[in-house]
Amino acid sequence: MATTAEDEEAKRLMGEWGLDKEDIQVDDVPDDDDDIHTFDDYMEQYRREDCVPHDDELDHIILGTNNLEEALKQFYEMTDLKPIMVVSLKGVGTKSARLAFESCQFLEIMGPDPAHMGMPLAKKLAALPDGELVPFHYAIRSKDKMKAEIWKECDLTCDKVTMVSQDRGSAWTWTMAILEGHDQGGLVPYLVDWGESKHAAARLPVIGSLDSLKVTSGSDSPVHTLLDGIGRVTVATGKSSLELTFTSAKGKHTFKTLVPGGIEFPK
């Protein structure tokens, strides 16, 4: 896939996955805490050594919002939990917060970065309904599907970027593969390969149990091929929709949309 110099610069910025101290969303970290310098320092307190990802499973789910600050308040009211990891994804104009499930999956809440509202993905998120958290996209992990380039069976193309951060001072990398050449937005998954790196859910506070992710699409959708053999996802044929259900200490929560927007790389 041909890219311009601007595309490559945007992708380079995407790879600089960092945590700004002023973005930390947790009440018990004082402003003058000099021990919190980096993403690596901050997330170490949540490490779970027993969080080992299984292959051929759902990896994570994104809920979209047009206002991240308000969405985090809304989420706290629903669950009594604050997603405390907030990062800016440079190059696409988004900010995100995360929480882990008890299993080795995580939930990401993504909104537009007010400092970069001109980016296409920021504009897409800004167009979401006020006051709503909606399923926006999801990722699967499958080394076999990644290696076999399963998307080619569906006449799709793939654009990849490798993200870089730190884990205990060492390089922490993972690869995202966004599938292109379709008009189904966030119904079509993207793929993630963590390689030998620790999974992100192993360094996040736990919200509760992931009950289900249901993907419904037409019989001719590439979703059916891409999700064949993938655990923790229910696939159905019918009118398109994406539905997430999880349980927190305050009960069961369900989020559903008929038109998930989907993340995208810079063009």
Instruction: Give the residue extent of every domain in the chain.
Output: 5-20+53-208
* CATH superfamily placement of domain 5-20+53-208: 2,3-Dihydroxybiphenyl 1,2-Dioxygenase, domain 1 (3.10.180.10)
Place of tokens 């001072």: 169
Burial class for 163, CB neighbours closer than 10 Å (0-12, 13-18, 19+): middle
DSSP bridge partners of 87: 96
Q: pTM of the entire structure? A: 0.86
Q: Token pair for residue 193?
A: 């390969």
Check residue 84 and give its pLDDT. 77
Report how far apart, in Å, the C-alpha atoms of 98 and of each of 200, 207, 218 are: 9, 10, 31
The rounded distance, in Å, linking the Cα atoms of 264 and 139 is 13
> How far, in Å, CA of 136 to CA of 196, rounded?
27
- How does pLDDT run along the chain (267 residues), one tens digit per residue? 434 554 454 445 444 444 444 444 433 343 445 454 566 677 788 999 999 999 999 999 999 999 999 999 999 999 999 897 767 777 789 999 999 999 999 999 999 999 999 999 999 999 999 999 999 999 999 999 999 999 999 999 999 988 776 555 555 678 999 999 999 999 999 999 998 778 889 989 999 999 999 999 999 999 999 999 999 999 999 999 999 999 999 999 999 999 999 998 776
Q: Residue 195 has what pLDDT?
A: 84
Instruction: Decide: 256 and 85 in contact? Cβ < 8 Å.
Output: no
Pairing outcome for strands 94-101 and 206-217 = parallel
What pLDDT score was predicted for residue 30? 38
Where are the alpha helices (H) located in 80-231, listed in sequence order? 120-126, 143-148, 223-226
